[in-house]
Amino acid sequence: MAIIKKYKQMKIKFKKSIITIHRDLGFFFFGMCVIYGISGIAMNHIKDWNPNYIIKRKKITLNVPDSKKEYSKEKVLEILKTLEEDKYYKSYYFPEENDLKIFIKNGSVNINILTGQTYIEKIKRRPLFGQTTFLHYNPGKLWTYFSDFFAFSLILIAITGLFIIKGKNGITGRGGWLTAIGIIIPVILFLMYL
């Protein structure tokens, strides 16, 4: 009788421990779940769009000197002034004989000096997605340690979640079926992509 009572008490303590671990890790890592959820969505669609930056391109034709010798910092600033970009000048160079590349804050201006064809490219960090993907790409050692702890905790959250609910909706009933399906789908998809 005493053994059964002790077993039941241990079972209750174990259940309370599981619920506490699951609950506390869930609260503690709420922010990380959101960060990795948002950045995961962004990175899944990296072929469709740039999750880090909004890139705006504009094409115009300018009347510029057609000889590389005629260019100086002053001449480049004069060109940028017509584009209202002179305040953002950084540097310039000629990657090819007839192609002038001007670096400006958050972008660049590319000019074919023979045709005057000009491409202005402006880059701006994409709000929310840019910051979360920056973190997802692992920016440093401290983040590595914290995200490793997060990854380990996700495993604990998943395992403890299996034992919170008992009965027909728990792991021995509906929960078991859902768990099995949730394992089978990634395995099937993995085998399809091999």
Rounded distance, CA 103 to CA 90, Å?
5
Q: What is the DSSP letter of 45?
A: T
pLDDT per residue over 40-99, tens digit each?
Answer: 998 899 888 888 899 999 999 999 999 999 999 999 999 999 999 999 999 999 999 999
130 CB-near residues (< 8 Å, 6+ apart): 51, 52, 53
Kindly give the residue spans of alpha helices, DSSP state H, lying in 45-173: 73-82, 129-136, 141-162
Give domain limits for the chain. 53-124
Separation in Å, CA 164 to CA 15, 17, 51, 172, 178: 7, 10, 37, 12, 15
Rounded distance, CA 117 to CA 61, Å?
5
pTM score over 0.85: no
